[in-house]
Amino acid sequence: MIPTAKFITFTILRFSRLQPVAPAPTFLGHSPPPPRSRCHHSRQAVQQITETEMPWDLIKLNDGTSIPSIAFGTWTLGGGAQATDYVEQAISVGFSHIDTAQAYRNEEEAGKAIRESGLAREDLYITTKFSGRDGLDIETSIKNSLKYLGVDYVDLYLIHHPRLATPDIPTAWAKMEKLKQDGLVKSIGVSNFGVPELQILLASAKVKPAANQILLHPYVHAQQNPIIEFGNAHGIVSEAYSVLIPLTHQPGGAVDKPVNDIASRLKVKPEQVLLAWAKSKGVVVVTFVQFSRRTRRRANKLTAECTGRARRRSGSRDTWLRAILV
């Protein structure tokens, strides 16, 4: 359901009491980055950036592992050198979670950036997905993905869509469980699964899916929220992709005014407001963003300050953006 004007105005008034906090980061569009040399950060330097300048908490998964709550997604990057450059830049500013997939056709480029980062394998969290590329099965696909990425295991492996769970969800999921048992993947999950598909999976699963990556932004929140709630009830963490769609692909809608007003008041970018909204839902955010070095540390005060004030007023961590949640 699209937010009503009355509800938007109400939340803007609540937001107007907050004080400006930080300049915004620079958000990348779809054009390639300017030419730059390869990043060769030391392990110590990049760890410091990750720990002090990207304060997105780890989220505990149902298998006992933890996942960084923000990921750099490679969906829109394509292949070639520019994909490697983007992933290198993401790692250099503190992203420790890289999200890719067979279907994106840039696992090899992501793997190159990971190797050139100089980081130890355990310092990065890697998600990839079984997308049924070239008609290959799950077992062959994971081996190819590991080869392209240049690693011995991935942290999270997802079935990219229910239609790829062939011949049926229980059979496909049993294959995923075997990959986990064999140590090729640390955690297993799904993507784009609705409640009915999750119910089918859980009915036969020996290992619960750790995560379900779904489309999430304000215009689809009402229809997607039952999936998030079902996941919460069964210990399945939701991951959100395409959070910025209202700004990047559907401008001019009802979300624009409250988001822009909030961004103006707090002196941040509209994209930052939507990322903060998604974070307030308790999901892992998969996005395409780069923070400028000058503003990284100060910009990250936004979520902490705004969320803290809203909690004190209402006891809810997301009331301060409630206008664009319904």
- Spatial separation of the C-alpha atoms in residues 71 and 58, rounded to whole Å: 11
In the numeric block, which tokens belong to residue 239? Answer: 């991951």
Task: Tell whether the model's pLDDT for residue 230 goes beyond 50.
Answer: yes
Q: How confident is the model at residue 93 (pLDDT cuts 50, 70, 90)?
A: confident
Q: Which of 86, 104, 125, 219 is catalytic?
A: 104
Supply the pTM of this predicted model: 0.74
Residue 289, pLDDT score: 64
Task: Tell whether the model's pLDDT for residue 5 goes beyond 90.
Answer: no
- 239-287 pLDDT, tens digit per residue, is 999 999 998 878 888 889 999 999 999 988 899 899 999 999 999 999 8
Q: How confident is the model at residue 66 (pLDDT cuts 50, 70, 90)?
A: very high
Catalytic: 157? no
Q: Nearest CA to 209 among 184, 191, 225? A: 191
Determine contact, residues 275/210, Cβ cutoff 8 Å: no
Task: Tell whether the model's pLDDT for residue 96 goes beyond 80.
Answer: yes
Mean pLDDT throughout 1-16? 31
- 143-176 pLDDT, tens digit per residue, is 999 999 999 999 999 999 999 999 999 999 999 9
